[in-house]
Amino acid sequence: MYKLRPLLFLNQQCSSMAAMKPLRLMRVMSQRASLSSSAGKWEGGVSMVQGASRGIGLEFVKQLLEKEKGHVVASCRNPEGATGLHHLKSKFGERLSVLQLDVTNESTIEQSAKSIGKRYGSLNLLINASGILSIPQVLQPETTLRKVEKSSLMLAYEVNAVGPVLVIKHMWPLLKDGGGSGTDRDVAVVANLSARVGSIGDNRLGGWHSYRASKTALNQLTRNISVEFARRKDPITCILLHPGTVDTDLSKPFQRNVPENKLFTTEFSVQKLLSIILNAKSHDNGKFFAWDGQEIPW
């Protein structure tokens, strides 16, 4: 029975313009004009993928560069070691910039926001893709309450819930400038990578206490931010995404019993998620979607 548990868990996851400096105003206006074009939503715009060194984040960077005509800012903990990003940089040159950002170190988030502000002036899309499920000798998904450690609960919460929220906090002014009127497609989008196991209503199996609860916290914090943005009439839509069970380093130790057709490639999952993001409207603010566009209960 215990052998089956990883499979079951994984399947369950199955302006004020007048106040702006002229250069910045021109940038914002040209981005807004390009938003109304029928080609890519962020054609000419700026997207940030946080947690971009590998896995789903790296694939987002690749597909945004291939499908959209704008600029992509990819952040990760160790840019020098991010070989996948080096490869994309050699192919896409100036359209890709790479920044150092560790979600557990707020000064790296602040520094990244300053650097994006200086270079681009605004952001049209922020994808928080970083996340941890297991780290050898440090963090293991718990199959029983007996294995729950304070350090695991705190680490998962820090990386999976607190980190993305601090990133949104510091990118907020840039996202406000990246959004337009706040109607239909004219909004900046924040997409946080969550997981179906973070749903309380959908929890029938238990286990994975740290990861599960950290994603539940991410969901509530994202929903809370979405309410504040709506109340302030900020042209920003926040959504939560479950990518399915995807063949990455994160899922590798738990893939043994996953049927082949339930284990997605990063290409497939990101293609689906990008379509949800590109079609996100202001009325999607605060919603939690699975890879196939279905809403997930809280």
Ligand X SMILES: NC(=O)c1ccc[n+]([C@@H]2O[C@H](COP(=O)([O-])OP(=O)(O)OC[C@H]3O[C@@H](n4cnc5c(N)ncnc54)[C@H](OP(=O)(O)O)[C@@H]3O)[C@@H](O)[C@H]2O)c1
Residues 6+ apart with CB under 8 A from 259: none
| Among 116, 246, 258, 273, contact with ligand X (rule: CB under 6 A) | 246
With respect to ligand X, which residue has the nearer C-beta, 53 or 282?
Answer: 53
In angstroms, rounded to a whole number, what is the distance separating the alpha carbons of residues 43 and 65?
Answer: 10
| Among 193, 221, 238, 296, contact with ligand X (rule: CB under 6 A) | 193
- Determine if residue 189 is left, alpha or beta; phi over 0 gives left, psi from -120 to 50 gives alpha, anything else beta: beta
With respect to ligand X, which residue has the nearer C-beta, 157 or 186?
Answer: 157
The secondary element (H helix, E strand) that includes residue 110 is: helix 106-119
| Among 72, 125, 175, 250, contact with ligand X (rule: CB under 6 A) | 250
Q: Is 235 in the site for ligand X (CB under 6 A)?
A: no
Q: Is 134 in the site for ligand X (CB under 6 A)?
A: no
CB 254 → ligand X: shortest distance, Å?
A: 8
| Among 2, 19, 23, 78, contact with ligand X (rule: CB under 6 A) | 78
- Chain centre to alpha carbon of residue 11: 21
CB 53 → ligand X: shortest distance, Å?
A: 4
In angstroms, rounded to a whole number, what is the distance separating the alpha carbons of residues 89 and 73?
Answer: 11
CB 64 → ligand X: shortest distance, Å?
A: 15
Specify the amino acid at residue 152.
Answer: S
In angstroms, rounded to a whole number, what is the distance separating the alpha carbons of residues 94 and 108?
Answer: 22
Residue 58 has which token pair? 């790296």
Cβ neighbours of 29 (radius 10 Å) = 12
| Among 102, 106, 186, 202, contact with ligand X (rule: CB under 6 A) | 102
Q: Is 198 in the site for ligand X (CB under 6 A)?
A: no
Residues that bind ligand X (CB under 6 A): 13, 51, 53-57, 76-78, 102-104, 129-132, 159, 193, 195, 242-243, 245-246, 248-251
